């Protein structure tokens, strides 16, 4: 390094600027009125407020480091990173190693063998005079 590069400050990163702005807003105690501030197309005041709250929560360690006189780079290294989201079950695989698609809804009825034919019960005609019932008296 040459002597001119030693005293020369490095360029600001977008991350440093964002952390500094949030730190300045927090230090000054300024509340942003999201209802009167212009919102990007397709966004509303509530969504903007929620997004800013999430960003501030995620960068809180770095904001605290700036307010305590520390550097942002030291707080980035010290901050543990969260591993992503919920754990998912591994995809089921078939005999060929390919993942099997998940089935939804009711299971289909499968015909593994020939369907049973229901026997129709028929009533036999009785010959006249051979009834089990007593004959009517005249």
Ramachandran class of 68: left when φ > 0, alpha when ψ lies in -120 to 50, beta otherwise = alpha
Q: How far is CA 58 from the centre of its chain?
A: 19
pTM surpassing 0.95? Answer: no
Q: What is the pLDDT of residue 76?
A: 55
Q: How many angstroms separate the CA atoms of 64 and 14, rounded?
A: 18
pLDDT of 117: 66
Domains of the chain, residue spans: 12-25+43-81
Rounded CA-CA distance 62/22 in Å is 10
Determine the pLDDT at residue 94: 67
**Blockwise average pLDDT, block size 10, the chain, 138 residues:** 64 90 88 92 94 93 86 59 69 69 76 66 67 58
Q: From CA 40, how far away is CA 43, in angstroms rounded?
A: 6
Q: What is the pLDDT of residue 59?
A: 92
In a 3-state reduction of DSSP, which class is residue 41? coil
CA–CA separation, 127 and 137 (whole Å): 20
Query: Among positive and negative, which fits the CA dihedral 69, 72, 78, 82?
Result: positive
Q: What does the alpha-carbon distance between residue 48 and residue 39 come to, in Å, rounded to a whole number?
A: 7
Q: What is the DSSP letter of 138?
A: -
């Amino acid at each position: 390094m040459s002597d001119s590069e030693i005293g020369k400050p490095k360029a600001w990163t977008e991350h440093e600027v964002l952390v500094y702005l949030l730190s300045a807003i927090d230090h000054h105690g300024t509340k942003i009125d999201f209802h009167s501030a212009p919102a990007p197309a397709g966004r509303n005041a509530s969504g903007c407020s929620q997004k800013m709250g999430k960003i501030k929560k995620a960068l809180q360690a770095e904001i605290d480091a700036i307010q305590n006189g520390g550097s942002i780079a030291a707080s980035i290294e010290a901050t543990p990173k969260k591993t992503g989201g919920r754990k998912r079950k591994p995809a089921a695989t078939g005999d060929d190693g390919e993942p099997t698609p998940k089935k939804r809804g009711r299971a289909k009825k499968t015909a593994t063998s020939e369907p049973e034919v229901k026997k129709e019960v028929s009533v036999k005609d009785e010959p006249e005079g051979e009834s089990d019932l007593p004959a009517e008296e005249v």
